[in-house]
Amino acid sequence: MTQEEKHSPVRHTFDKLQDVVGGMMGRMSASMVSSANQFVEKAALSDRYEIMAGRIALRRTKSPDLVMLAKTMIADHTASTHNLQAALEMQETRGVMAPPAELDARHKTLVEHLEAAPDDMFDSTYIDQQVLAHEEALSLLVHFRDHGDNPQLRSCAEAFAPVVYRHLQHCKALKQGH
């Protein structure tokens, strides 16, 4: 694929549609997670994606609001990753699988779409992805908090759900302004 094809308006529209469909499916899937292994996998993927997307935003956006958002995402999702790791080192989580080392195909695609977004569409692409990602993450955290099979990880979900809720509200407010 040539650089021009990668950044074409038609290609970008298709990428955004794919992101929306993937986000809806991810949110549905996240809202049914009750096993510790599934929770660890989805929470880790969410954090890893947020950190990567934030780094891309820092490199590409010209918006001071999005620079601050990206810095917040990187800091908060790095903290969430550390909290999840700490929870996995406790006796109550023995036997729970380790977080995946890399992004899954869907999150890799989101990163690719973000990288490929035309400069004049980058900010809206980043915000749209952030809204979708935080809706999915909030669904995951709330459902696992209420129905998860591991008390230690349920506590992690309960602790981070308000942070993700604030992120979602902030992203929606920024989306209104862009």
Instruction: Summarize pLDDT for 97-137 with one digit per residue, the tens.
Output: 999 999 999 999 999 999 999 999 999 999 999 999 999 99
Taking the C-alpha atoms of residue 37 and residue 148, their distance in angstroms, rounded to an integer, is 10
Instruction: Give CA separation, 130 vs 76, 91, 110, 155, 161, in Å.
Output: 14, 34, 10, 24, 15
Residue 126 near residue 114 (C-beta atoms within 8 A): yes
Q: Token pair of 42, please?
A: 């989805």
Residues 8-44: tens digit of each pLDDT: 777 766 676 666 556 566 666 666 678 999 999 999 9
Burial of 73 by CB count in 10 Å (0-12 exposed, 13-18 middle, 19+ buried)? buried
Cα 90–Cα 159–Cα 65 angle in degrees, nearest 5? 125
- Considering only residues 3 and 166, tell me which one the structure prediction assigns the higher pLDDT: 166
Confidence (pLDDT) at 95: 87
With residue 57 as reference, give the H or E element that holds it. Answer: helix 36-60
Residues 60-96: tens digit of each pLDDT: 999 999 999 999 999 999 999 999 999 999 877 788 9
Confidence (pLDDT) at 30: 64
Tell me the fold of 12-177.
Answer: Ferritin (1.20.1260)
Residue 152 near residue 93 (C-beta atoms within 8 A): yes
Per-residue pLDDT at 56 exceeds 70:
yes
Q: Token pair of 38, please?
A: 């599934």
Taking the C-alpha atoms of residue 40 and residue 7, their distance in angstroms, rounded to an integer, is 34
Mean pLDDT estimate for the chain: 88
Rg (C-alpha) for the chain, rounded Å, is: 16
Confidence (pLDDT) at 9: 72
**For the chain, what are the domain ranges?**
12-177
First-to-last alpha carbon distance for the chain, in angstroms, is: 30
